[in-house]
Every structure is written in C-alpha cells, then in structure tokens.
C-alpha cells in the first residue's frame, strides 16, 4: 500500500494551490458580494488553459489524462480559496467525462475540446426537476422524435453555470409508457438552441459567483444526432455518472473545511483572552485536533474512491461514503471554526461566515446525505446477501 502521490499528482496539486492563492483568494470575498463577475470568468479561462477542465480526459480531446485522484486534489485546493470556482471546475470535468464515456466520436471532438480549452466557460447538467430531485426517475421533461429532430418540452431547476454554459447534458423521457426510470434518454443541447430558455437565477445562501438557474424547454428542437448513448438508457447513466461528481463535491467540501480550520487555528495563535493565547486552552486544542482528524479521514475516503475509479473498479459505495463524510465534516469544521473566532466569526469582516454558507449546500447537491446513506446501506446489504 502506497499512499504517496505521484510526481504528476503533486505538480497538479501544487499548481492548483498556487493559482488559488494568487488568483482566487484575493477576489473570493468580492465575488461573493456579486462584484467583478468578469474576474470569475477570467479565472475559469485561466484554469482551462492550465488543464483543469479535463483532468480525467484523454489527450486526443484536449484533456490532461491525469486521473480521478488529480481531479480530487485540484478541486480541494481550488475550494480552499473559492467554492464557486471549485464547483464550476468539478461540473465541467464531469460533463466532459460523461461525453467521453458515452458520446459519439463526433460529439466528443465537438464538445470536449470546447470546454477543456475554455472556449466555452462551462458545461452543465440538466437532470433535476421540481418534482424530481432526489428521485430523478420521476422527471417529466419529454423528448419526442419529429422527423430528423428531437423536440424537448419541460423544465429543469438548480442548473449550475446555465447562463455561460456552451452545452447542456440533458435527461428527458423518450418512452412515456415505460416503467418509471426505464424510458429516459440522454441528449446534448447546445446553448442558443431554439426553444431553450435560461430562466431565473436563484438567490442562494452561498456560492454566489456560481450561477444557478432554471432551464425551460419550449418546443426546443435539436438534431436527431444529439442523442447520446443508448436510447432509453439515460437513467442508468445518471446513476452511474453521479458517483464521479460525488468525489468532486466531497473534495470541494474538504477544501472549504480545511480553509475554515486553517483560518481558525491561525486566529487561535494570535487571539489573547485571560492573559493567554486561546490556542493554549484545552477547549480550543480539542476542537482543532478533532476537526483536523476528521478532515484527514475525509481526505483518505476521497482518495480511496478516486483510486478505485481510476482502477476501473466499482466505486459507488466508496464515493457515497466519501461524499457524505467529507461534506458533513466540512459543515462541522465551519461551525467549530466560527466557535473559535466567537463573535468575529459571525461577521463578514472574516471569511468564516462565507465558508459556512458555501459549505452548507455540499450535503444537498450531487445527492443529499440521506440519499448517500441509502446507497451505502444498499450496497453493503447487497454484498452481504
């Protein structure tokens, strides 16, 4: 068993850390306040040029071929500075991976390089609907073949990067008579397609720089060739591919949790109460010890899931374990960090309140903690039966 990173993985981690410190950290608070949106876009472009939008993508399509471990490391380092940027990087990588796994050669060569290079700032997933969140098989958006075109009708919600995405990976019902979850197919919908409407931007608690919008399909016509993968096989694809996204969001949570605790630990070394630095008090020391231990456990869970994915081994259970533990740990880390700072942690003069808001969503998107526990228990019981 060798837990050391390869030279390439170390280089990617170091590059991500240095970029985050130099480019992302100085502007993160302003982006959270809705300032300098162009800086957010500029940083996405720079990250694409550094190869961070296709870390697990083959070189022939413009990717870095660095693997799932490198992807996890990069997202963690980026999230330590800016969670909004990190979630965009995570989603872009997963969009590219889905296209690489299921797309035709023409689809791969058209869309993957576009995202990897930064020509398109983002890709986006269109899965969640008002009545189909944790239960995506209950979606109502339909796709009907009309001659040489598919006609999409319906809506999607909570779509990250929607206004600046160049392509959307969209799930829709293609056989309304099939049993629930059996008649769903997968499509690639280009931005600007007739009948595709970008709806309202959600006013969110955190991750403000990352836009989250509704998608509307009003007789949206796309080519027959926009179908990706096998007809009526889209739900199985959704279930399978979300595992990789859970590694990404778990890594994001880890990054935010580490940022919160790093700030709180440094603060404890400087803050004086009762004539002592508060880092000398056992109550503070135990918070620091407990949270760094939990964050290290989260890191190891993420590395295990990413390693299994790289090896082509089943990793759904491991990804869910990593995701639920890392994201819930991130929320606890932010809570404890705020407790260490006291009243200052609750103010916008310090980054802890932003970290706390940014971390909260991580236990919800890419599958709630409750859904992760269902997956974990299902897999364990299946293995024991």
Establish whether 366 is a catalytic residue: yes
Say if strands 149-160 and 212-223 run parallel, antiparallel, or are unpaired: antiparallel
For residue 312, which phi and psi values (nearest 5 degrees)? 75, 20
Record the tokens describing residue 262, joined without a space.
């790093």
Q: Which of 366, 370, 379, 383 is catalytic?
A: 366
Closest CA to 206 of 253, 245, 267, 244: 253
C-alpha to C-alpha distances, 160 to 107, 297, 312, 355, 365, nearest whole angstrom: 22, 29, 28, 19, 10
Record the tokens describing residue 52, joined without a space.
């961070």
Q: Quick count: other Cβ atoms within 10 Å of Cβ 296? A: 13
C-alpha to C-alpha distances, 162 to 24, 28, 88, 247, 330, nearest whole angstrom: 21, 20, 11, 22, 26
- What does the alpha-carbon distance between residue 252 and residue 268 come to, in Å, rounded to a whole number? 25
DSSP 83-95: HHHHHHHHHHHHH
> To 10 degrees, the CA torsion angle through 339, 259, 95, 60?
-170
Closest CA to 69 of 52, 55, 85, 48: 55
Q: What share of the chain is helix, strand, coil (3-state, %, to 5)?
A: 60, 15, 25
Unique residue bearing structure tokens 């790093």: 262
Helix/strand/coil for 172: strand
C-alpha to C-alpha distances, 168 to 25, 219, 223, 273, 381, nearest whole angstrom: 29, 16, 14, 54, 36
List active site positions: 366
């Amino acid at each position: 068993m060798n837990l050391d990173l390869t030279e390439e993985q170390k280089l990617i981690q170091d590059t991500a850390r240095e970029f985050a410190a130099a480019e992302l950290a100085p502007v993160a608070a302003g982006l959270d306040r809705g300032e300098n949106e162009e800086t957010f876009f500029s940083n996405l472009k720079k990250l694409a040029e550094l190869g961070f939008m296709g870390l697990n993508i083959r070189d022939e399509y413009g990717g870095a071929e660095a693997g799932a471990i490198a992807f996890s490391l990069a997202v963690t380092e980026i999230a330590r500075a800016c969670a909004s940027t990190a979630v965009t990087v995570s989603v872009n990588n997963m969009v590219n991976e889905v296209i690489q796994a299921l797309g035709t050669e023409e689809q791969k060569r058209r869309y993957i390089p576009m995202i990897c290079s930064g020509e398109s700032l983002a890709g986006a997933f269109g899965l969640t609907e008002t009545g189909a969140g944790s239960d995506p098989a209950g979606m109502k958006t339909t796709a009907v073949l009309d001659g040489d075109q598919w006609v999409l009708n319906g809506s999607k919600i909570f779509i990250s990067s929607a206004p600046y995405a160049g392509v959307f990976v969209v799930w829709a019902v293609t056989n309304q008579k099939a049993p629930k979850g059996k008649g769903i197919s997968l499509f690639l919908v280009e931005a600007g397609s007739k009948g595709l409407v970008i709806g309202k931007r959600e006013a969110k608690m955190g991750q403000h720089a990352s836009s989250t919008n509704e998608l509307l399909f009003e007789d949206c016509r796309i080519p027959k060739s926009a179908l990706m993968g096998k007809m009526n096989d889209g739900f199985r694809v959704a279930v399978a591919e979300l595992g990789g996204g859970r590694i990404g969001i778990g890594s994001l949570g880890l990054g935010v949790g580490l940022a919160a605790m790093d700030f709180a630990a440094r603060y404890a070394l400087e803050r004086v109460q009762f004539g002592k630095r508060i880092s000398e008090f056992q109550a503070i020391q135990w918070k620091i010890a407990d949270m760094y231990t939990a964050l290290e456990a989260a890191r190891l869970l993420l590395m295990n899931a990413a390693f299994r994915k790289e090896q082509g081994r089943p990793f759904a259970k491991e990804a869910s374990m990593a995701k639920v533990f890392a994201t819930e740990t991130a929320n606890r880390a932010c809570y404890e960090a705020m407790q260490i700072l006291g009243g200052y942690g609750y103010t916008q003069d310090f980054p802890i309140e932003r970290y706390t808001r940014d971390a909260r969503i991580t236990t919800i998107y890419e599958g709630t903690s409750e859904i992760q526990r269902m997956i974990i228990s299902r897999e364990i019981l299946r293995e024991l039966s």
